[in-house]
Amino acid sequence: MTESTAPVHAVPRTEGDSAVEVRSICKYYGDIEALRLIDLDFPRGKLTTLLGPSGCGKTTLLKIIAGLVEPTSGDVRVNGKAVTGPGPERAFVFQDFALMPWATVMRNVAFGLELKGMGKAERQSIARHYIAEVGLTGFEDKYPHELSGGMRQRVGLARAFAVNAEVLLLDEPFSAVDEQNRRKFQEDLLQLVEKERKTFIFVTHSIEEAVYVSDRIVLLSRRPSRVAQIIEPKIDRTASPDAIRRDQGYLDTVEEIWQGLKHYVD
* Contact pick of 37, 68, 118, 190 for other proteins (by CB under 8 A): 68
Pattern of binders to other proteins over 145-184, x per CB under 8 A? xx----------------x---------------------
CB of residue 202 to other proteins, shortest distance in Å: 16
By CB under 8 A, residue 101 contacts other proteins: yes
Question: SS3 sequence, 113-146?
Answer: HHHCCCCHHHHHHHHHHHHHHCCCCCCCCCCHHH
* Contact pick of 55, 86, 138, 249 for other proteins (by CB under 8 A): 86
CB of residue 244 to other proteins, shortest distance in Å: 31
CB atoms within 10 A of CB 69: 15
The CA distances from residue 64 to 8, 85, 98, in Å, are 20, 9, 18
CB atoms within 10 A of CB 218: 27
By CB under 8 A, residue 64 contacts other proteins: no
- In which region does residue 148 sit, left (phi positive, over 0), alpha (psi from -120 to 50) or beta (all else)? beta
49, 215 Cβ separation under 8 angstroms: no
Range in contact with other proteins (rule: CB under 8 A) among 52-60, 99-107, 246-254, 255-263: 99-107
CB of residue 9 to other proteins, shortest distance in Å: 29
The contact set with other proteins (CB under 8 A) reads 66-68, 85-88, 90-92, 94, 96, 98, 100-103, 111-112, 114-116, 143-146, 163
